[in-house]
Amino acid sequence: MNILQVNSSARTDGSQSTRLAGVLTERLVEQNPGAKVTLRDLAQNPHPALDEQALGALFTPVDARTPEQARRVAQDDALIGEIQSADVVVLGVPMYNFGVSTQLKNWIDAISRAKVTFQYTANGPEGLLKGKTVYVVLTRGGVYRNTPADSQVPYLKTVFAFLGMTDVRFVYAEGLAMGAEAEQSAITSAHEQIDLVTA
């Protein structure tokens, strides 16, 4: 089993989403001795945004790219290669201003490439990253699960389904900023959910 863990917090230290994603990955490794883990930490190694220069590089034929354009596309290619090789993806996802972090959005933009990870057909779009299980560990300061304020879950479900990943399992740690007791309860609950989703 190949496991890809993606930490999308802006923090390099002290991130609850990173800690809990690590716990989930450890649980999977315990259950699957010999599993290989690839760690992609987007705080330690932030990926560049999809800007005009990046689009220009992507839409330039391979043999016509400048060295700079080739290097930029190679950065995205590395992330695509990681997720193509993964059987399981574990994401640590904090909530920032009701959405995902810039770090995660840049990663999603990088792995979403026409004719590589998705394609359009006569019957509509088809995701090409099939047969994977995705675990998403969500950490929030407040409580947003199953409310209109939770834009993360619908967005991530839509993006992953578009890319062919329909087995997406969520773990919630909510109320982390609502006092010490609420924080501890949230962490305990998250550990219990990890046990359930990996059973």
One digit per residue, pLDDT tens: the chain, 199 residues?
999 999 999 998 889 999 999 999 999 999 999 999 999 999 999 999 999 999 999 999 999 999 999 999 999 999 999 999 999 999 999 999 999 999 999 999 999 999 999 999 999 999 999 999 999 999 999 999 999 999 999 999 999 999 999 999 999 999 999 999 999 999 999 999 999 999 8
The answer to whether 177 touches 160, Cβ cutoff 8 Å, is no
Separation between Cα atoms, residue 132 and residue 87, nearest integer Å: 5
Q: Is 119 helix (H, G, I), strand (E, B) or coil?
A: strand
Q: Domain containing 15: what range?
A: 2-197
Residues 77/83/86/92 CA torsion (nearest 10 deg): 130
CA nearest 40: which of 98, 83, 73, 1?
83
Separation between Cα atoms, residue 171 and residue 192, nearest integer Å: 9
Query: Structurally, how many domains does the chain consist of?
Result: 1
Q: Which long-range contacts (CB under 8 A, 24 or more apart) does 145-148 make?
A: 145/172, 145/174
Which whole-number Å values give the CA distances from 34 to 3, 37, 148, 194, in the listed order? 11, 9, 41, 20
Separation between Cα atoms, residue 137 and residue 65, nearest integer Å: 38
Q: What is the CATH number of the domain that holds 39?
A: 3.40.50.360
Confidence (pTM): 0.95
The answer to whether 8 touches 156, Cβ cutoff 8 Å, is no
pLDDT at 12: 87
pLDDT at 58: 96
pLDDT at 82: 98
